[in-house]
Amino acid sequence: MASVRVEALTKRFGDRQVVNKVSFQVADGAFAVMLGPSGSGKTTLLRCIAGLELPDSGSVYIGDVLMDELSPRERDLSMVFQNYSLFPHMSVKANLAFPLVVRHRPRGEVEERVRRTAELLRIEQHLDKRPNQLSGGEQQRVSLGRAIIREPRAFLMDEPLSGLDAPLKLQMRAELKRVQRETKLTTIYVTHDQVEGMGLASVLGVMNEGELIQYDAPAEVYARPRNAFVAGFVGNPPASLLEAEVREENGNLELRGDGFTYRVGEDLARALKGNTDRVIIGVKPEGVKLVRAQRAPNDIDGVLDYTEDFGSTVIAHLRIGQGSISASIPPQEGIGLEAGARVGVRWDAEKLSFFDARSSERIV
């Protein structure tokens, strides 16, 4: 096991810059997740770390050892892909043992490590089966086991759960977290699924258009997104984004958007005043309350589009002018709400983020 450090890594394919000067460090034993939409460069970044792609510039260190001139095999990393890559003609036991057999490890050691790995992944009862006799989740466990068994210095995972259905994906997320915690294996995990990313990561990187925009603890990324893209991407659902003009009216600072006017408090006014004349407001769903009576001066008029009932919470999707926001509300508050209903919308100022409308960077 070892730390992983990436310094100013850049990769182009023809005229297209896929990874742009990305730098970050994963501590020994940490679980880092690189989260981003399709085409953001996260898989190419992972392949450069593994040595499967050669970067145009920048460096990769495993521990304190520079990897730039080393082959994938010499880097001593394990990589798990979306497809399981199991040998169909071999038993589960033979699949698990394969990485050790090709390295000519002693038979007794192979037997012992297969036993330990099967116990870790809870697949002891499947050792004599072929892959086609296993479920998707069981096949993925075997694939993970084959990567773990040789005890690599770090573990790279490229969307390994994307082919599983929702209940199985949830189960495998829990298994991955448990296995990583017990093995203390340094892990870099790539996904486009922000629920998966937030749930697994001890440290979360958000990528877009080849750049690493933010790299921090998941709670910090959600609470203080660095720019409007991160705010609108991370969360389930993510923050809603509304653009507004910053105006001073009778000594008060107001944000005027399509269908709303929002008067800001003194502390926020000081932060915004003189900074910019247009902002993007990031509104987290748990910071939105629906009001049907006793309106306050800062309440906004909204129209309900539709609701999604998830049992423990209801997500209400509303229109404000030409924009839209989502509100996370208790189930009892969703009773009787129908599409087209006009409701008051109240924002919790503590759950708002503000970004410069031109640069998209966070102001406060």
pLDDT of residue 114: 94
Residue 324 lies in a domain: yes
Cα–Cα distance, 314 to 77 (Å, whole number): 43
Do 163 and 22 belong together in one domain?
yes
Residue 145 lies in a domain: yes
Residue 8 lies in a domain: yes
Q: What is the dihedral of CA 137, 138, 143, 147, to 10 degrees?
A: 100
Do 187 and 286 belong together in one domain?
no
pLDDT-based confidence at residue 270 (cuts at 50, 70, 90):
confident
Do 208 and 253 belong together in one domain?
no
- Name the token pair of 305: 């589009």
pLDDT tens digit string along 328-362?
Answer: 999 999 888 999 999 999 999 999 999 999 999 99
Cα–Cα distance, 183 to 296 (Å, whole number): 54
Cα–Cα distance, 168 to 165 (Å, whole number): 6
Question: Residue 291 belongs to a domain with what CATH number?
Answer: 2.40.50.100
Do 290 and 314 belong together in one domain?
yes
pLDDT tens digit string along 217-265?
Answer: 999 999 999 999 999 999 999 999 999 999 988 888 999 999 999 999 8
Do 28 and 61 belong together in one domain?
yes
Instruction: Read off the amino acid at residue 150.
Output: R
**Choice between 204 and 294, residue whose per-residue pLDDT is larger:** 204
Q: How many separate domains does the chain show?
A: 2
Do 280 and 133 belong together in one domain?
no
Cα–Cα distance, 32 to 25 (Å, whole number): 9
> CB count, 10 Å around CB of 137?
16
Residue 110 lies in a domain: yes
> CB count, 10 Å around CB of 83?
12
Do 283 and 342 belong together in one domain?
yes
Do 253 and 156 belong together in one domain?
no
| Residue 359: HSE in the Cβ half-sphere, 13 Å Cα cutoff | 11
- Name the token pair of 314: 């209801």
Do 107 and 71 belong together in one domain?
yes
Do 81 and 154 belong together in one domain?
yes
Residue 364 lies in a domain: no
pLDDT tens digit string along 167-225?
Answer: 888 888 988 899 899 999 999 999 999 999 999 999 999 999 999 999 999 999 999 99
Do 291 and 196 belong together in one domain?
no
Q: Lowest mean pLDDT: which of 86-100, 165-179, 195-209, 278-292?
A: 165-179
Residue 232 lies in a domain: no
Which of 185, 204, 182 is CA-nearest to residue 193? 204
pLDDT-based confidence at residue 88 (cuts at 50, 70, 90):
very high
Do 212 and 279 belong together in one domain?
no
pLDDT of residue 81: 82
Residue 234 lies in a domain: no
| Percent of the chain with pLDDT strictly greater than 90 | 78
Which of 122, 115, 150 is CA-nearest to residue 138? 122
Domain termination residue (choose one: 181, 200, 226):
226
Q: Which domain, by its residues, includes 284?
A: 240-356
Residue 161 lies in a domain: yes
For the entire predicted model, the pTM comes to 0.92
- Name the token pair of 83: 């497809």
Burial class (CB in 10 A: 0-12, 13-18, 19+), 190: buried
Beta strands in the chain (DSSP E): 4-13, 16-26, 31-35, 57-62, 65-66, 77-80, 154-158, 187-191, 203-208, 211-216, 240-249, 252-257, 260-263, 278-283, 288-291, 300-309, 314-320, 323-329, 342-347, 352-356
Q: Would you give the end-to-end CA distance of the chain in angstroms? A: 39
Domain termination residue (choose one: 226, 252, 277):
226
Domain termination residue (choose one: 166, 197, 226):
226
